[in-house]
Amino acid sequence: MLDNNVRYLQLAFNDDLRLARAILPRIVPDPRIMIEAGTPFVKREGMAGLRLLARSWPGIVVADIKVSDGALGEVDMAAQAGAKAVTALGLAPVETLRLFVERCKQYGILSMIDMLGVEEPLQVLRPFYTQPDVVVIHRGRDEESNRNKMIRYRQINRIRSKYDVFISAAGGVDLREARSAVFNGANIVVVNVVKQNDPWGGITIDEDITAISARFLETIS
C-alpha cells in the first residue's frame, strides 16, 4: 500500500465533518496524499463520520483512534467504516499492540503505532511478533507551545537500524519542519488542517489549500 521510494503527505482533520467535506474538494487527489480522521474528529463524528470521510476521498484514509485497549473491536469498527490505516498508542499494553497489528494485517490495512509520550520506541517494538507498518514519531499538540519539545528525529535512525518499518513525523509540522522530517528519514509527514484561531500549527483553512498542499508535496519529494 505504501512505497518506500515515495514520501507521503498526511493531512489531518481534527474539527468536524462539515469542515472536512468543504476542504476535501480543494485537495488534488494525489496518491501521495493521505487523509486523516483525527482523534477529535472521530470523537465528534464517530464511525458514521469516518465512513463519510472515507467515501469522500479515493486514497488512504487514516483513522487516528489511538487504540489503547480492546484492539480487535476498535480495528473492526474502523476497517468496516472504510479506514485504510488505523493508529494505536505505543503506551498501550503489549498484548493490545500485538492484537492490533495482527488484526490490521487480517484486514489488509496499515497498522500505525503512535509513540506520543514514549521515551524509547525500541522498547515498545521489541516484544512484537509482527512489526507494525508505520511508527509515528509524534510531538503532541499540547507540547507545541514548549520550545524545548521537538520532534525527536534521532529516533528514526535508531528504529531503522533494527526494523523495516515506515516512519511518520507529526506535531506542528509546517513547510520547514516537513523538509527537516524528510531530510531525517521520515516517509510520511503529518500536517494539521486548522482554523485561523486554533492554537496549533498547520495549514489554515483560509489558505489556498490546493497550492499549499502542492508546495508540501514538492518540499517532501
In a domain, 151, yes or no: yes
State how many domains the chain has: 1
In a domain, 2, yes or no: no
In a domain, 3, yes or no: no
In a domain, 1, yes or no: no
Q: Does the pLDDT value for residue 140 go beyond 80?
A: no
In SS3 terms, 18-83 reads as: HHHHHHHHHCCCCCCEEEEECHHHHHHHHHHHHHHHHHHCCCCEEEEEEECCCHHHHHHHHHHCCC
Q: What is the pLDDT of residue 121?
A: 95
What is the per-residue pLDDT across 69-119, written as a single tens digit (0 to 9) for each? 999 999 999 999 999 999 999 999 999 999 999 999 999 999 999 999 999
Q: What is the pLDDT of residue 172?
A: 75
Q: Does the pLDDT value for residue 54 go beyond 90?
A: yes
**What's the CATH code of the domain at 154?**
3.20.20.70
In a domain, 129, yes or no: yes
- How far, in Å, are 80, 117, 207 from residue 27 at the CA level? 25, 31, 12
What is the per-residue pLDDT across 144-202, written as a single tens digit (0 to 9) for each? 656 656 778 889 999 999 999 999 999 878 899 999 999 999 999 999 998 888 777 78
Q: What is the pLDDT of residue 148?
A: 59
Residue 158 is part of which domain span? 8-220
Q: Retrieve residue 187's grid coordinates.
A: 516517509
CA 139/CA 172 separation, integer angstroms? 8
In a domain, 40, yes or no: yes
Q: What is the pLDDT of residue 51?
A: 98
In a domain, 165, yes or no: yes
